[in-house]
Amino acid sequence: MTPSHIFIVVFIGMVLSMEIYMDMREAVDEDYEFRQVAKYTSRIRYKMLSGYIWWCTRIRTYVIPVQTMGATAALLLNESLSVSNIVLNGAGVGFILRVDDLLGDMLPFTVRHWANELVKFKEPVPIIEHRRLVIQTCYLWTLFISMIVMTEPIMKVWGDETANGGMPCSDIVNVCRDYPFCMGLVLALLVTAAKYGTKLSTLRSCVVETCLLLVLGHIFYRGLKFAWTTHMYLKSFSCVLRG
């Protein structure tokens, strides 16, 4: 990598991090908004929706950001690192992160008006939450840069070169899949502990949150492994048919 490549990677990482920051901030705002609206709804309805809200907000806060960085790194590392490759792939992923907002603007006016009415129930999100999101964004930006610039050192820990005959730098799957996933899980656990340390959550809530995050991480990681194995089997089967 030349210095110009590193500069472009750092810039694209900043753009993606800001897009992810906006999405994480929307998720946190919706979480606090739901807590306020729950005061005016029935207890049964709150219990039914709380699990769904928890799942959606944690996916948008912890899973999608790290997997977005891993997917972008995989796109860049699959081809020769050129300025056009870095910019076009980075811009494409950044656009995908905005698709949900664009689709929301296409909803009927009555639906958007009903959603906007919920804002009056909303209380200001604690400033410490915004600071936490900024730190988390910097963490994701560093994660993205490390996957591109330090691919080979990471591969010595997370790579699976023995599956490819022990050839150096023969496999980047674990670098772009397992490494960001594990770093995201570590981040989620650190944020949960920080919430207890800053009195934003009780000890019981932190313990429950930690257990649920571990279960979510296990399910999601198994899903990733299954999807990749299925992809490899289908690819091998298609090669056999062509051969």
Domain boundaries, the chain: 3-242
Count other C-beta atoms under 10 Å from residue 179's C-beta. Answer: 24
Q: Are 178 and 159 in contact (CB under 8 A)?
A: no
Q: What percent of the chain has pLDDT over 90?
A: 0
Q: Would the pLDDT of 185 be above 70?
A: yes
Residue with tokens 């200001």: 124
Find the range with the poorest average confidence among 14-18, 42-46, 188-192, 224-228: 42-46
Q: Interior CA angle at 164 toward 161 and 166, to 5°?
A: 50
pLDDT tens for residues 31-79? 877 777 766 666 777 777 777 888 888 888 888 888 888 888 888 887 7
* pLDDT at residue 48, rounded to an integer: 74
How far apart (Å, rounded) are the C-alpha atoms in residues 90 and 73? Answer: 9
Q: Which of 234, 67, 197, 217 is nearest to 143 (CA)?
A: 67
Q: Are 57 and 30 in contact (CB under 8 A)?
A: yes
* pLDDT at residue 40, rounded to an integer: 67
Report which listed range, 63-72, 96-105, 121-130, 153-162, is most confident. 63-72
Strands (E), the chain: none
How far apart (Å, rounded) are the C-alpha atoms in residues 17 and 23? Answer: 10
* pLDDT at residue 166, rounded to an integer: 53
Tokens read off for 106: 């296409």
pLDDT (mean) for 13-39:
82
Residue with tokens 């996916």: 59
Q: Would the pLDDT of 165 be above 80?
A: no
pTM, to two decimals: 0.77
Tokens read off for 111: 């639906």
Q: Are 228 and 163 in contact (CB under 8 A)?
A: no
Of residues 100 and 123, the one with the higher pLDDT is 100
* pLDDT at residue 242, rounded to an integer: 73
Specify the amino acid at residue 103. Answer: L
Count other C-beta atoms under 10 Å from residue 219's C-beta. Answer: 10
* pLDDT at residue 218, rounded to an integer: 81
How far apart (Å, rounded) are the C-alpha atoms in residues 177 and 197? Answer: 31
Q: Are 167 and 152 in contact (CB under 8 A)?
A: no
Q: What percent of the chain has pLDDT over 70?
A: 85
* pLDDT at residue 179, rounded to an integer: 86
Residue 61 DSSP class? I
**What's the whole-number average pLDDT of the chain?**
78
Q: How confident is the model at residue 217 (pLDDT cuts 50, 70, 90)?
A: confident
Cα 89 to chain centroid distance, Å, stands at 17
Q: Would the pLDDT of 207 be above 80?
A: yes
Residue with tokens 């906006």: 22
The Cα diameter of the chain in Å comes to: 64
Q: Are 34 and 53 in contact (CB under 8 A)?
A: yes
How far apart (Å, rounded) are the C-alpha atoms in residues 91 and 120? Answer: 35
Find the range with the poorest average confidence among 48-52, 167-171, 175-179: 167-171
Residue with tokens 């008006």: 113
